[in-house]
Amino acid sequence: MLISSLVATALVGAAAAQDILTTQLSFSGYTNYLYRDDVTSSQLLFTEANSTNVRTRFIAAFPAGNSGAMAYFKPSTGNTSALTLSLVDNSLKSVQYDCNQTGITGQWQLSQNAELDLAVLGSVRALRDYVEGGGILHPEMNYTLLQSSNNSVTLYRNFFNDSIAMNFTMTTDKQIQSSGNTSIALPAGTYQFTITLNETTLEGIPPATLLNQQNETIATNSSTSDSTKMVSFLSYSEKLLAGGWRFLTYFGRDTLISLRILMPILSSDTIEAALGAVLERTNITDGELCHEETIGDYASWVNMQNGQADLGSKPFYDYKMIDTNFEFLPALAYYLLGLPSGSGRATPFLSKTASLANNMTYKDLLQKNVDLVMNQSSSFAQNPTADNLIHLKDGVPVGNWRDSNPGIGYGRIPFDVNTALVPGCLRAIQKLAEASILNSTLSQTAASYANVWESKSLPLFSVPLNSTYAEQTLSDYTAYANLTSDLYMNSSASGNSTSPPSEIYALSLMEDASPVQTMNSDFSFNLMYNDNLTAELLEYSVNALRPFPEGLLTNVGLLIANPAYDSNRTNWEVFTRAAYHGTCVWGFQQSMMVAGLGRQLDLCNGSSGSSNTSTTTPIWCSNSTLVSNIKSAQCTLWDIILSNPAVEFAETWTWTFDNSTKSFVVTDPAALTPDSTEADAIQLWSFTLLAQDKPSYCS
């Protein structure tokens, strides 16, 4: 998570070469270096001297097998001053040795005599087990210490199955003392460090071909070129990665949501890499789409734990999320039918043969997912009750992007999946069938299902509020949260309402269909994925984009949740500003909101144009007050986004209320909950704002 210190600067020198991608950024106490060329791809982290992170840490992470090396250093006995370890400028290079060993080398400066405190070599998942799992180490993953000379040590590990060998070497001009398997005394000074392993490198998609030709200046503009490099670092012809250093591998939701928003600026190569990666990981039995893959050394480990060591490092694909299943078809339909880059691509793309999924064609895999969507949506289409909505899987407490149990208020039936994604998916099937990309007999059934889902699911999430109740609870919550009614009274916010909303939409429903009455930002999914929205939902959107705590807007961003109207006041304690999915901001939700509002307005222009696949103009477009209110809400959100440049491409952040200025201040959630999970410096979906232009009608 970033915070005020998200500073990205290109490494001068190295970046001059066309085929080398380098960039760096300071994030939450670590300097992150990204390096990629034809030989390797690696993200390195060094604890910063000014960091409040007490331990001096180095990490190198490699996406090819989601592998990495991590080392902690401590001052040698007697030393009490702070130890620093920093990269020597412009020293990073790739290396290529015998036995297919490839990796990264560079120089670091160690400020004083130190000892190796601890090291982990293997899967990034094993590094995470240590960092996030309260110090879990797997003794089976121990490395071996080799000292070939006085001034060089190597930590060596053969991955499970002896499939991959990793070497982490540190060399200096003074004497290094080691004893036993883990004790290493490192003198202060300059070191050459090298980490190599013999994993096949992925094929990176460079900034030059990441974007489509109309938008390639985004890769060279000074304000966006570093962010484009970071997206490029996460993009490979095999798959897009979710983020780094912790998630340098495939995640379905991150891929598909990012893709949907970024698609207008991406090249068809990038789009097809992302779509292909999802299809390749389809469950060929039931058509579910993969949430997360476990590969490399950790796959071996999981297989061993399951008593299936004979499977070697065969990947494990996780299908526990329910949203991913409904995020592929809308992206595919938009690409093939809505974008110039997708025109004529249906046949060549869908006739590809999958390399991971049993040699099936992409078209066969697509059909599996279509069958799943049709099957799972049919009960509600026939009998639209809450029971027949899509529920989280039995025994699984999560299932949509609010990937935490409290994040959806402990509900079982999420709003986004049921009101936006399923109907959006059915319309996508209808349109692909009308275009004969899918069997054309499907179009009528898909359309009739979509009609029911569009008209009957949203009302099940409606929470009517009478004004007496709404005003009272708002006032109570304002006091509870130590805020002030000045934030929303007499505000010049968008919309023509000056009082609390008369209706909100639940975040989720409990198993018994009762609503979790927390106001939330998930109508961004309706704006992004649906074409046939009611005037009521658009009016609600405008109203919800009012100042917090009446609505969701603060001067530091759009909050994803606001429990002010929740009659279950326990939720006031659940959705705090420190909670992962509480009254905090997520960058991709802001991009989806501005993109979604823009998309809806495009529908009024009758343009089947750049951002939708519809040809009919919605009825609400004739309400010029509403149209003007939507524009003004969109412009207000843009102003907020642009006035917080430090978090423009950050994943999530929260706030502190400053009573003297009566405004919010950007706050790192880690500062509120020191034992919270470490965040990633770069996260694919946090860059989705790159595809958005502030509209010319905003002043």
Chain residues in the site for ligand NAG (CB under 6 A): 5, 7, 26, 31, 48, 50, 97, 99-101, 139-140, 142, 146, 148, 154, 156, 162-165, 167, 169, 181-182, 198, 214-215, 218, 265, 283, 285-286, 317, 319, 358-359, 439, 441, 466, 468-469, 480-482, 496-497, 539, 543, 567, 623, 625, 691-693
Using the 8-state DSSP alphabet, how is residue 488 labeled? T
Among residues 361 and 451, whose Cβ is nearest to ligand NAG? Answer: 361
Tell me how far, at minimum, the Cβ of 623 lies from ligand NAG, in Å: 6
Contact 108, 102 (CB under 8 A): no
**594 HSE (CA, 13 A, CB side):** 26
Among residues 319 and 655, whose Cβ is nearest to ligand NAG? Answer: 319
Token readout for 347 is: 């046949």
Q: What is the C-alpha to C-alpha distance for residues 439 and 187, in angstroms, rounded to an integer? A: 69
Contact 225, 204 (CB under 8 A): no
Among residues 152 and 451, whose Cβ is nearest to ligand NAG? Answer: 152
Tell me how far, at minimum, the Cβ of 429 lies from ligand NAG, in Å: 13
Contact 262, 691 (CB under 8 A): yes
Q: What is the C-alpha to C-alpha distance for residues 621 and 628, in angstroms, rounded to an integer? A: 10
Among residues 200 and 404, whose Cβ is nearest to ligand NAG? Answer: 200
Q: What is the C-alpha to C-alpha distance for residues 53 and 36, in angstroms, rounded to an integer? A: 27
Among residues 179 and 496, whose Cβ is nearest to ligand NAG? Answer: 496
Q: Give the amino acid at 656.
A: T
Pairing of strands 102-110, 189-197: antiparallel
Contact 233, 23 (CB under 8 A): yes
Task: Name the strand (E) or helix (H) holding 601.
Answer: helix 587-604
Tell me how far, at minimum, the Cβ of 169 lies from ligand NAG, in Å: 6
Among residues 404 and 436, whose Cβ is nearest to ligand NAG? Answer: 436
Among residues 77 and 359, whose Cβ is nearest to ligand NAG? Answer: 359
Q: With 0-12 CB in 10 A as exposed, 13-18 as middle and 19+ as buried, what is 93?
A: middle
Q: Please tell me whether residue 112 adopts helix, strand or coil conformation.
A: coil
Tell me how far, at minimum, the Cβ of 344 lies from ligand NAG, in Å: 19
Tell me how far, at minimum, the Cβ of 283 lies from ligand NAG, in Å: 4
Q: What is the C-alpha to C-alpha distance for residues 128 and 479, in angstroms, rounded to an integer? A: 40
**5 HSE (CA, 13 A, CB side):** 14
Tell me how far, at minimum, the Cβ of 180 lies from ligand NAG, in Å: 8
Tell me how far, at minimum, the Cβ of 470 lies from ligand NAG, in Å: 8
Among residues 17 and 606, whose Cβ is nearest to ligand NAG? Answer: 606
Contact 61, 68 (CB under 8 A): yes
Q: Give the amino acid at 626.
A: L
Among residues 41 and 167, whose Cβ is nearest to ligand NAG? Answer: 167
Tell me how far, at minimum, the Cβ of 70 lies from ligand NAG, in Å: 15
Q: What helix, strand, coil percent values describe the chain, rounded to 5?
A: 40, 25, 40
Q: What is the C-alpha to C-alpha distance for residues 422 and 332, in angstroms, rounded to an integer? A: 14
Q: What is the C-alpha to C-alpha distance for residues 201 and 167, in angstroms, rounded to an integer? A: 16
DSSP β-bridge partners for residue 166: 157, 197
Tell me how far, at minimum, the Cβ of 411 lies from ligand NAG, in Å: 18
Tell me how far, at minimum, the Cβ of 695 lies from ligand NAG, in Å: 10
Among residues 567 and 615, whose Cβ is nearest to ligand NAG? Answer: 567
CA-based nearest residue to 357, from 365, 348, 368: 365
Among residues 100 and 105, whose Cβ is nearest to ligand NAG? Answer: 100
Strands, E assignment, 150-256? 152-158, 165-171, 177-179, 183-186, 189-197, 243-244
Among residues 145 and 386, whose Cβ is nearest to ligand NAG? Answer: 145
Tell me how far, at minimum, the Cβ of 605 lies from ligand NAG, in Å: 13
The string of DSSP letters for 127-155 reads HHHHHHTTS---GGG--EEEEEETTEEEE
CA-based nearest residue to 298, from 156, 200, 135, 160: 160
Using the 8-state DSSP alphabet, how is residue 14 labeled? G
Tell me how far, at minimum, the Cβ of 331 lies from ligand NAG, in Å: 18
Among residues 164 and 601, whose Cβ is nearest to ligand NAG? Answer: 164
Tell me how far, at minimum, the Cβ of 161 lies from ligand NAG, in Å: 9
